[in-house]
Amino acid sequence: MILTNRHYIIYLFILLGMVFFLSRNDSASSPALEVITHAEADTVVTILPLVDTSTIPVITQSEGKYEYLEIIEGCAHGTAGLCIWAYAGPGLTYEKIYQLEKGMLLKVVGTKVIDGQTWYHVYFDEWIRYPERSPKDWYVPAVAGRIIRAGGIETVLPTTPSNKRIVVDLSDQMIYAYDGDTEFLATKVSTGEDTTPTPTGTFTIFRKTPTRYMQGPLPGVTDIEFDLPGVSWDMYFTQGGAAIHGTYWHNNYGTTQSDGCVNLPPEVAKILYDWAPLGTKVAIQK
């Protein structure tokens, strides 16, 4: 049989169609893969099959940097009004876990879109004193806040001492920050009440973490039960747990209010957290 140019063209189209059909079948039988970070350890990566089209790849963190959800919508502590909840799964049909409050800071390990709604997967990858009170996995609707980036836990003291220092005056409930002799910041704080006083003396900031799940009672510190997820911009200066940090559950600055920590408005705590390196001296005086 003699093949004309026309025949060659027809056979070419048939061949291309068969290749396209077979490649579609192969792709359908092999589910797409996505990379998600395992929240138990920041560096562990797991490969999972793509379950459905409503699932999108999680946000992967660059080395040394993480994403946090700052809650800016919903309830203010102790007030009525429209509140936003964290759920056990990515959707309103899941169990409500915790009522969110403005000023919380929550670590994000993934993102999902369900029925057009973006959900952030929050995970508490820290040690929690009373883990039975709340699941470690939360899902929070994106409308609750905004994403910010920050480093992780800092525990390695610098080799070069800093000229920066922080002074907390318990008598006037004020905090002062100095770089050498230059004042950087001065504002009202809330320190420990009479039954749970803030320790006095000179200390060093030895641990910093953008967020912490704080719970009580604390052995040897307080018998009061409390449950405070997402406490922001924590700078620890005693091994017993005393820290300078943001506070979303009250705004009574200028009065004693805490269980021994130094409370600041979250936005001010962030400024001080970014300014003060590990090794900064903290003087607590009456």
The pLDDT of residue 1 is above 60: no
pTM for the whole structure: 0.76
Question: What pLDDT is stored for residue 223 in this prediction?
Answer: 83
What confidence category does residue 14 fall into, taking pLDDT thresholds of 50, 70 and 90? low
Q: Which CATH class name applies to 164-285? A: mainly beta
For 106, 211, 227, the CA distances from 152, given in Å and listed in that order, are: 12, 9, 22
Rounded to an integer, the average pLDDT of 160-170 is 95
Per-residue pLDDT of 36-90, as tens digits, reads 222 222 222 222 222 232 333 333 333 458 999 999 987 877 665 678 999 999 9
Q: Over the stretch 126-155, which tens digit does the pLDDT of each residue have?
A: 889 999 998 999 999 999 999 999 999 999
Residue 235 pLDDT level (bands cut at 50, 70, 90) = very high
In the predicted structure, residue 285 carries a pLDDT above the cut 70: yes
- DSSP per-residue letters across 164-225: EEEEEETTTTEEEEEETTEEEEEEE-B-B-TTSPPPPEEEE--EEEEEEEEEEEETTTEEEE
Q: Tell me whether the CATH fold assigned to 33-150 matches the one assigned to 164-285.
A: no
pLDDT given at position 38: 24
Q: In the chain, where are the structural domains located? A: 33-150, 164-285
Span between the terminal Cα atoms of the chain, in Å: 106
The CATH code belonging to domain 33-150 is: 2.30.30
Which pLDDT belongs to residue 75? 81
